Amino acid sequence: MKDLREFVDKIRDLGELKLVEGANWDLEIGAVTFLAAQDPNPPALLFDRIEGYSPGYRVLSIPYSTYKRIALVLGLPSDSKRLDLVRKIRSKLSQPLKLIPPVEVKDAPVLQNVHTGTEVNLLEFPTPRWFSKDGGRYIGLGDNVIMKDPEEGWVNVGTYRVQVHDQTTATINLEPGKHGRFIREKYWEKGQACPVAVTCGGDPMLVCVGAASLPWGTPEYDYAGWWKNEPVEVISGPTTGLPIPAHAEIVLEGEIVPPEIETRMEGPFSEWTGHYSPAKPDGAFRVKCVMHRNDPIILGHLVYLGPGIICGWTDLFAAAQVWSHLDKIVPGVKAVWSPPELKKSMVISIEQKYGGHAKQTALGALAQHSYDRRFIIVVDEDVDPSDIRQVLFALALRSDPERFDIIKDSWCCNLNPILTPYQREVGDITHSVAVITACKPYHWIKEFPPSVELTEELKENVLEKWKGKILEGS
């Protein structure tokens, strides 16, 4: 897919899109989104005829809350689910990385409307205030924030939240340790404003790549080109010269000025933690140019929709990245999963080969993907890590709290609600990670009591005989 509209057409054809007309941008879009997401198979919602705005100025929410839609974005079979999706992503990650640079085009849909100077008006769009304690309206959720390293020359494409403050001013939340923050600081250290372009709706695959954890210096445009097997089409930004996706819905161009010049209060915001992140002063993003397509669509990709609800692909990508990494350093990895019910945690299933194998696996996973991890749990190969009931069963009966390891001073983020006021004051953005081996003890694994289970032959025979009778839906 080249753009968000193709995605909308495809999910409409799948029967997974619902049109909502007449909602108010202030809290109502957020409330409808949150309540609709509680459905076991929630449709994506396309809001149109939003109160106070012209028809055609739209907001898409709950875009990726079914595995079918996530598979569509990633170009995978629509029947791929849970671990099958992770396996397919892992398979792609195992292939040689051959970056495909973007290609510049002269004409593009995003150039249908170009506003500069006094024509710039961020309030032109029906940007929602999603939840009641949000500090304002957030236009950048399913977005791409584009920056160029002033020293190394490579282009970073991240996904960071963007808050609208007035007609020409926004803020971009850049957490410590994120590539976009490093790049912004390089400009500020030189006493310069940081040029930036933000897409507020575009190719879902590019949004996915922007949210992935790639090595420093890896240009996301080129990585997305490798994934899609074709280059991303870009234009040169009229005011920044940055490469901008040609098929984006809305683009904001400008610069983030150093805090000594101007700050705005960013936040609070209803983050993935299910809690509001604290407000803080941040450098103002002065918008000098706005481009948008006719009838633009804001991609409202909320990162929290309720406990345990699938919000997108980030956890799937992280699990696949960890699995691919572990394949290179330890044997016997059977599956890796990041459960939506246990946010920012990782469960790894292994066939134990030697003493210390489970601990080595857990520490290898943490080393590869440490950002904001809370629990690393290793289970035996007979436990499905994507089934939280099986994981909790193993945790209760195959682990001993004495065998838990606590890793202190691990990389965290400001969004973490458990950070103490003192930590925030002194800038200590770290927390502890629990490493749990919920496996049979290896040194007496052969004597461990056997699991209660059906043989495959008996299971198949009983299902065949009783399906549609006692075993409804089996």
426: CB partners within 8 A, 6+ apart: none
What are the tokens at 459?
């299971």
H or E element that contains 9: helix 4-13
Amino acid at position 80, single letter:
S
The secondary structure of the chain in percent helix, strand, coil, rounded to multiples of 5, reads 30, 25, 45
d(CA 308, CA 338): 11
H or E element that contains 36: helix 28-36
pLDDT for 418 equals: 85
d(CA 310, CA 67): 8
> What beta strand segments (E) does 126-205 contain?
137-140, 144-148, 155-158, 162-164, 169-172, 194-199
User: Would you say 279 and 176 are in contact if contact means Cβ atoms under 8 Å apart?
Assistant: no
Longest dimension (CA), the chain: 77
pLDDT for 4 equals: 97
pLDDT for 100 equals: 98
Phi, psi dihedrals of residue 200, rounded to the nearest 5°: -110, 65
268: CB partners within 8 A, 6+ apart: 133, 134, 135, 276, 277, 278, 279
d(CA 255, CA 184): 10
* Residue with token string 């020359």: 153
Residues paired with residue 431 on neighbouring β-strands, in sequence order: 410
Q: What is the pTM of this model?
A: 0.91
Phi, psi dihedrals of residue 301, rounded to the nearest 5°: -90, 85
Residues paired with residue 100 on neighbouring β-strands, in sequence order: none
456: CB partners within 8 A, 6+ apart: none
d(CA 243, CA 262): 26
Residues paired with residue 433 on neighbouring β-strands, in sequence order: 407
pLDDT for 310 equals: 87
pLDDT for 345 equals: 92
Distance of CA 67 to the CA centre of its chain: 14
d(CA 350, CA 372): 23
CA distances from 39 to 44, 275, 366 (A): 11, 21, 33
pLDDT for 472 equals: 59
* Residue with token string 């403050």: 165
Domain residue ranges in the chain: 98-294, 314-447
Residues paired with residue 157 on neighbouring β-strands, in sequence order: 146
User: What region does 306 belong to: left with phi over 0, alpha with psi -120 to 50, or beta?
Assistant: left
What are the tokens at 71?
């598979």
Tens of pLDDT along the chain (474 residues) come to 889 999 999 999 999 999 999 999 999 999 999 999 999 899 999 999 999 999 999 999 999 999 999 999 988 888 888 899 999 999 999 999 999 999 999 999 999 999 999 999 999 999 999 999 999 999 999 999 999 999 999 999 999 999 999 999 999 999 988 999 999 999 999 999 999 999 999 999 999 999 988 999 999 999 999 999 999 999 999 999 999 999 999 999 999 999 999 999 999 999 988 999 999 999 999 999 999 999 999 999 998 999 888 888 888 999 999 999 999 999 999 999 999 898 889 999 999 999 999 999 999 999 988 888 889 999 999 999 999 999 999 999 999 998 899 999 988 888 888 889 998 889 898 889 999 999 999 999 999 999 898 899 998 898 888 887 776 554
CA distances from 226 to 87, 88, 97, 98, 233 (A): 18, 15, 7, 6, 13
User: Would you say 232 and 102 are in contact if contact means Cβ atoms under 8 Å apart?
Assistant: yes
pLDDT for 9 equals: 97
pLDDT for 474 equals: 46
Helix segments in 229-313, DSSP class H: none
3-class secondary structure per residue, 58-87: EEEECCCCCHHHHHHHHCCCCCCCHHHHHH
d(CA 60, CA 58): 7
Q: How many CA atoms lie within 13 A of 121 on its CB side?
A: 7
What superfamily does domain 314-447 belong to in CATH?
UbiD C-terminal domain-like (3.40.1670.10)
CATH 3.10.20.90 is right for the domain spanning 98-294: no
pLDDT for 1 equals: 83
d(CA 288, CA 47): 28
